[in-house]
Chains A and B, each alone.
Chain A
């Protein structure tokens, strides 16, 4: 079992719709969870992080965390073509351990 799993996609949504990206992780001791966006040929850029169960909103982005289910998701409201990118989920396990990345989900927003 991979430590951090994501559906590779592509996930296609029409412009203006809500895009839902999902991630599961295996280490129950994981404490912090990150979402990065990566455009083709570019390096990852941080969108947001979450560490408490529930929702965290930042503009059009909402991260959701359910530690009991070992599940974290990212919702993008009012999706725009500029949101088309690969979204990477990253997890920091308990203690001073390294962050582990998933393989990413490719999102395509269709105009």
Chain B
């Protein structure tokens, strides 16, 4: 399977614990995005990387959240001291933007990691 993969698919944790999620993008894609999605809402942008550089973080991303993409391939998203409000689906997407006119950036999503904080 050459699509975007995420691990784990489901995570149940107790409030206050730390969790880490992994995303493996499509191999030639240089951009990697993290989103959070709650019921009835569209994907909410968290952060994105171009190669290993983290180019933008959402203002909504508290200091309990950190993401890395150390070698420009897979990425990890860590949530420290989880809270019940962190319960959501965490989606990863990758893309290979075309430096064309107009600009295009077609993202392909992984299956997501569903986090439940008890």
Residues of B within 8 A of A34 (CB): 106-107
Interface size on B, residues (CB 8 A): 26
With contact pairs A42-B111, A43-B91, A46-B108 given, residues A96 and B103 touching in the complex (Cβ less than 8 Å): yes
- Show 8 residue pairs from A and B whose CB-CB distance is below 8 angstroms, ordered by the A residue: A43-B109, A46-B108, A88-B42, A92-B105, A99-B33, A99-B105, A103-B40, A103-B42
A-side residues, CB < 8 A to B, are 4, 6, 8, 31-32, 34, 36, 42-46, 49, 51, 88, 90, 92, 94-96, 98-104
Q: Given the known A-B contacts A32-B105, A45-B109, are A101 and B43 also in contact in the complex, defined by CB atoms under 8 Å?
A: yes
CA distance A32 to B106 in the complex (A): 9
Contact present for B102 and A44 (CB under 8 Å): no
> Within 8 Å CB of A31, what residues of B?
102-104
Looking at the assembled complex, report how far the CB atom of B55 sits from the nearest CB atom of chain A, in whole angstroms.
8
Distance in Å: Cβ of B9 to nearest Cβ of chain A: 11
Residue of B nearest to A92 (CB): B105
B25 close to A (CB within 8 Å): no
Chain B residues at the A interface, C-beta cutoff of 8 Å: 33, 35, 40-45, 48, 50, 55-56, 89, 91, 97, 102-112
Whether the pair A49, B56 counts as a contact (CB closer than 8 A) is no
Q: Which residues of A contact B91 (CB under 8 A)?
A: 43-44
Nearest-Cβ distance from residue B86 to partner chain A, whole angstroms: 19
Q: Beyond the given A43-B110, A51-B104, A103-B40, could you list 10 further A-B residue pairs with CB under 8 A, ordered by the A residue number?
A: A6-B42, A34-B107, A43-B89, A44-B109, A96-B55, A96-B97, A96-B103, A98-B45, A99-B45, A99-B107
State whether A49 and B109 are in contact (beta carbons under 8 Å apart), knowing that A98-B56, A102-B42 are contacts in the complex: no
> From residue A101, how far is it (CB to closest CB) to chain B in Å?
4
CB distance B104 to A49 under 8 Å?
yes
Q: Looking at B41, B56, B97, B103, which has the most chain A CB atoms within 10 Å of its CB?
A: B103
A94 and B103: CB pair below 8 A? yes
Residue from B42, B55, B110, B112 within 8 A of A101 (CB atoms): B42
